[in-house]
């Protein structure tokens, strides 16, 4: 096995294309092999969607990139620094939003900055700006339980963005929402992706979501979790994508690929 | 209209209902064992300005010290076991076995080891309620959603920051609920513990009145200990309202099933 050792805190070389490098990643989880020898590279400011049936290890992959679970074998590096704990500029949005029920919207969004010991005044300004950007400023003093699912997810997005990430990881962020709210938030995320120079990885089981938010779509298969196919999505980010025929053709293509995984 | 009146004055409503029940019992039994409530209240009011105070003070101090020790010990061990599966596997079964054990039966041992005074009384109460607190803290930590831990870790939280922003606020409502049960238990145990080797404490006062067959005094003592319990409950309510506003919102959203 090749051993790569990178210095910590090393800054990215200018012009380096690969931001995330995953090599031969294997993860054992509760006695099962969740991921086996998976290799993948993601560029700066690239948007990748990961899709696959349950048990294919797509959430495990995301948690490993986030530094929340440790690889059994192999390496993950981001900007040449090996990931062994959560990285300061990786934003993470998890299923069921992960908001603290005892904190108001404002306090939830401020949490990342508070943990970083930012000055109070700066936190206040930054939080206010991001709340306004996501149209949730009027709910600043409410608790998560007082909000709808869509509003809660906006708070989760705001919290992840407040730390100004260069990488945003999302694990089935919109799976609990109805179609209209889901598409609205997908649009929000796409808009934020365009404005901010960040890479994005979204794990989903929703075909339309993968096509809408993934410039590259990675299809995974289970037992053990590994990559099946990678599809390039040239239609990513085009205007009015949802009303274009090509979008639906792409969805059909992805659907047939996924069905092949299920039948393997 | 009546419902709203009850909702707004719950304590007054409950007091009135209990007094009515008491009155009915008084007239139906027609015995000195159940005196007229107003007579008992009268005696209570005359005693509260004087001789009841030292007894109440002694009892409150014993409960307070026991509860503080039990909360500190129970929370610490409960958190430790709840957050470390391997230790819980080691100590969990032992706690399971010790929990239902009638610790009050070991009173003679406490008396011999810690003397007849306050120390054995406080230790007895502490040992009994610490298990309730420990078990409910441990289980509430274990029930915490893994996603919350991942969320806060992804924001870069240290262990101490996870305690501050996640673990402690999450267990506080459960701790307060456990505390209510514990305070109820500790008052019953206190009554028992104050029946030996002391001349101060509301338990002693009630027992003494009983032996003197002074039922009015006895009832005055019962009223006093009940008010003490009520006062502590109200204190816990107040803490809950200030610190766990969110949990009350969650409670308020639950409709009754039947």
Mean of pLDDT values over A146-154: 91
pTM of the model: 0.83
Res. A3: pLDDT tops 70: no
Res. B217: pLDDT tops 80: yes
Phi, psi of A184 (to 5 degrees): -60, -45
Residue A19 near residue A44, CB atoms below 8 Å: yes
Domain boundaries along the sequence of chain A? 44-71+80-89+166-264, 99-164
Q: Which two tokens stand for residue B62?
A: 């014993």
CB contact under 8 A, B152 and A63: no
CB contact under 8 A, A145 and B152: no
Mean of pLDDT values over A206-231: 90
CB contact under 8 A, B250 and A95: no
CA distance, residue B122 to nearest chain A CA (Å): 34
With CA atoms as reference, the chain A residue closest to B243 would be: A102
The model's pLDDT over A161-179, given as tens digits with 9 standing for 90+, comes to: 999 899 999 999 888 888 8
Q: Which residues contact B175 (CB under 8 A, 6 or more apart)?
A: B71, B75, B133, B136, B137, B140
Res. A1 pLDDT band, cuts 50 70 90:
very low
Least confident of A14-28, A37-51, A86-100, B211-225: A14-28
Rounded to the nearest angstrom, the gap between the alpha carbon of residue A154 and the centroid of all alpha carbons in its chain is: 14
Assigned fold of A44-71+80-89+166-264? Rossmann fold (3.40.50)
Q: What pLDDT is stored for residue A5 in this prediction?
A: 41
How many C-beta atoms lie closer than 10 Å to residue B245's C-beta? Answer: 12
- Work out the mean pLDDT of chain B and round it to a whole number: 90
Mean of pLDDT values over A55-79: 91
Place of tokens 């009915």: B24
The model's pLDDT over B179-202, given as tens digits with 9 standing for 90+, comes to: 999 999 899 888 888 888 888 888
Least confident of A20-34, B52-66, B128-142: A20-34
Res. A13 pLDDT band, cuts 50 70 90:
very low
CA distance, residue B247 to nearest chain A CA (Å): 7
Mean of pLDDT values over A68-84: 90
Q: Which residues contact B143 (CB under 8 A, 6 or more apart)?
A: none
Res. B10: pLDDT tops 60: yes
Assign B209 to helix, strand or coil: helix
CA distance, residue A245 to nearest chain B CA (Å): 38
Mean of pLDDT values over A70-78: 90
CA distance A111 to A123: 9
Q: What pLDDT is stored for residue A264 in this prediction?
A: 67
Residue A161 near residue A136, CB atoms below 8 Å: no
Chain A residues whose CB is inside 8 A of the B152 CB are 100, 111, 115
Assign A37 to helix, strand or coil: strand
Best of A98, A99, A148 to substitute, by most chain B Cβ atoms within 10 angstroms, is A98
ipTM: 0.85
């Amino acid at each position: 096995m090749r051993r790569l050792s990178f210095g910590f805190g090393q800054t990215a070389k200018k012009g380096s294309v690969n931001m995330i490098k995953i090599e031969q990643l294997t993860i054992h989880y509760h006695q099962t092999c969740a991921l086996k020898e998976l290799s993948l590279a993601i560029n700066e400011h690239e948007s990748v969607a990961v899709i696959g049936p349950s048990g294919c290890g797509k959430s495990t992959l995301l948690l490993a990139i986030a530094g929340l679970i440790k690889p059994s074998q192999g390496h993950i590096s981001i900007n040449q620094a090996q990931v062994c704990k959560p990285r300061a500029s990786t934003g993470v949005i998890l299923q069921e939003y992960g908001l603290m029920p005892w904190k108001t919207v404002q306090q939830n969004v401020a949490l990342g900055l508070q943990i970083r010991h930012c000055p109070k005044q700066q936190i206040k300004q930054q939080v206010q700006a991001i709340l306004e950007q996501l149209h949730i400023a009027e709910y600043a003093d409410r608790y998560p339980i007082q909000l709808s699912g869509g509003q809660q997810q906006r708070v989760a997005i705001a919290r992840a963005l407040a730390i100004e990430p260069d990488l945003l990881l999302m694990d089935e962020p919109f799976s609990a929402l109805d179609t209209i709210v889901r598409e609205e938030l997908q649009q929000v995320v796409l808009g934020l992706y365009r404005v901010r120079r960040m890479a994005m990885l979204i794990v989903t089981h929703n075909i339309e979501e993968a096509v809408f938010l993934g410039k590259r779509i990675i299809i995974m298969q289970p037992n053990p979790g590994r990559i099946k196919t990678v599809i390039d999505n040239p239609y990513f980010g085009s205007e009015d994508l949802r009303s274009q025929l090509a979008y639906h053709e792409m969805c059909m293509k992805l659907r047939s690929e996924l069905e092949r995984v299920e039948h393997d | 209209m009546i419902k709203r009146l009850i909702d707004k004055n719950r304590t007054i409503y409950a007091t009135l209902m209990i007094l009515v029940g008491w009155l009915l019992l008084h007239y139906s039994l027609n015995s000195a064992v159940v005196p007229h409530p107003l007579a008992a209240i009268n005696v209570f009011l005359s005693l509260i300005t004087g001789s009841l105070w030292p007894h109440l003070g002694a009892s409150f101090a014993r409960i307070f010290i026991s509860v503080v020790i039990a909360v500190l010990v129970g929370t610490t061990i409960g958190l430790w076991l709840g957050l470390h599966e391997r230790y819980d596997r080691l100590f969990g079964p032992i706690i399971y076995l010790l929990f239902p054990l009638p610790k009050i039966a070991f009173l003679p041992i406490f008396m011999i080891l810690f003397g007849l005074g306050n120390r054995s009384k406080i230790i007895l109460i502490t040992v009994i309620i610490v298990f309730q607190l420990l078990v409910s803290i441990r289980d509430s930590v274990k029930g915490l959603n893994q996603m919350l831990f991942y969320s806060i870790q992804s924001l870069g939280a240290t262990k101490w920051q996870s305690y501050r922003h996640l673990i402690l606020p999450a267990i506080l409502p459960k701790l307060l609920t456990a505390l209510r049960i514990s305070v109820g238990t500790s008052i019953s145990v206190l009554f028992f513990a104050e029946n030996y080797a002391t001349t101060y404490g509301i338990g002693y006062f009630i027992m003494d009145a009983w032996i003197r067959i002074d039922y009015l005094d006895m009832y005055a003592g019962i009223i006093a200990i009940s008010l003490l319990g009520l006062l502590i409950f109200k204190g816990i309510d107040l803490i809950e309202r200030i610190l766990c506003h969110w949990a009350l919102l969650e409670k308020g959203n639950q409709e009754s099933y039947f």
